[in-house]
Structure 1
């Protein structure tokens, strides 16, 4: 797909990708506002019910084409003006921006002050890389289990409404920048599954590795 995202889910709808390979330019149609590999949103146009948008992918590959003009700028996932659940299991993600997920309000959809994103990201046996960025109207619950790994930085600019991170003992994260979360539930009480990598990890304002 040369002129679109791979998948777009609007409102109370869902998309499931299994044992498949998808590749797209990631180019949206709103003056670069909606460029992404996958977009979850609510347009408020009335053609999709309000509710939670769900994207599930297992044993698949999803790519933003390296030849795309936005390859180095578009996030893999973009969520705005909706609640969303993203379920990923044993999935390969290929993108060049270094931004795994962008969760934020825009002037394009929703009512100002109430149009951020509220995302639950579930990683199961999944390798994830890239920054997760949120604005002040947006929230994230990030769950890693069954040997999942995440390498990146979360809420680096401290702007998010809230971020909840949960890890089981088999899952690991490696920081590539200072990370700020509202709460942390780590089944490993020694935090040996967190590689601070020289960066700070703040939980509710207090550095875990002070």
Structure 2
């Protein structure tokens, strides 16, 4: 099916104060591909077909800036936003009633400023897990291989089902700052940074992990962080952020394993509230590490070295520990004004 408004190649589309409704499969609401550019203000967009995202992009990338409005996808496999482009959205309501909230593939970006975002993905046998926001590389040719970026500043993020963030078979960057996050009642993770079983052709089994940088800046984060040895994870807590959860190593999709790692960096003033025994490669902490009762958590080296002797029943096992975190890899929030377009 056709999109409501479509920009391709050298084309630039401007659309404002318009209602767009589509019913067919692959009929996105607003859509860029092939390098097209689209600017939108205060739209009301609703789609109902499969693979029919309210905000949609396709092969060849493009640029989209959206300011205000409501964008709802109702079909199966139809996130509110599907990004194979550079997309920035401000002050909008974004919802998927039958799919994950966001899908970003390959060398592409989604920035959300003061948006309300929600998803409701079904549990499917072909998937290793269920997620609300995915950064990945499908190998379909829809996007150039490279770093996928998801940035959300302010607003709210809600998952009706499954875990919150999943990254696999790609390089990826997540930045959350000041977002009101509500996980699903059955959520199994905050972040899953692992390989996958290749049931959908996402890379070669045992070699399709993720290389992920995740930053929480002035951010409350709730849920477990899962990683494997074919992935690399650098997780930063800055500007008074709080992570409540455990960090778990899960080798179920790692094949014969690899040389991956999971490093956690905690800035002074930030806190990790540990909810279970955890495994990290490196913990660099100038902040606080306690359990939910305020007890100090033991930090022990894999070689038996006791770095911190705590009173909590939980233990963090690490390869290395430092009280001076290297925060040079942490992301900092962008400003909407850097992307805002003037309405013609």
Question: TM-score band (shorter)?
Answer: 0.7 to 0.9
Which residue of the partner structure matches residue 165 of structure 2?
77
Quick one: distance in 1 between partners of 2:134 and 2:215? 16
* Residue 174 of structure 1 pairs with residue 267 of structure 2: no
Conserved? CA contact 1:180–1:204, under 8 Å: no
Retained in 2: the 8 A contact 1:127–1:148?
A: yes
CA gap 1:14/1:34 in 2 versus in 1, 3 angstroms: farther
CA-to-aligned-CA distance 1:108-162 (integer Å, 9 cap, x gap)? 2101222011111101000001001122312210111110001100125588931
Q: Secondary structure at the match of 1:46?
A: coil
User: C-alpha root-mean-square deviation of aligned residues, in Å?
Assistant: 2.2
* 2:316 aligned partner: 201
Q: Note if contact 1:80-1:105 (Cα within 8 Å) is conserved in structure 2.
A: yes
Match of 1:68 in 2: none
Distance 2:219 2:188 in 1: 17
Q: Which runs of 4+ in 1 moved over 6 A?
A: none
1:152 aligns with 2:245: yes
1:49 equivalent in structure 2:
144
Summarize deviations over 1:7-53 as a string: whole Å, max 9, x none: 11000001111101111202377734462110010011111001110
Helix, strand or coil for the counterpart of 1:155? strand
Partner Cα separation in structure 2 for residue 87 and residue 165 of structure 1: 15
**TM-score of the two chains, using structure 2 as the length reference:** 0.53
Q: How does 1:54-69 map to 2 (within 5 A)?
A: 54-65=149-160
Count of residue correspondences: 196
Point out the structure with max Rg over C-alpha. 2
Q: Greater relative contact order: 1 or 2 (C-alpha under 8 angstroms, separation 6 or more)?
A: 1
Larger mean CA deviation between 54-63 and 133-142 belongs to 133-142
After TM superposition, give the deviation of residue 104 of structure 1 in Å: 1.8
Match of residue 183, structure 1, among 250, 259, 282: 282
Q: How does 1:130-145 map to 2 (within 5 A)?
A: 130-145=223-238
2:211 aligned partner: 118
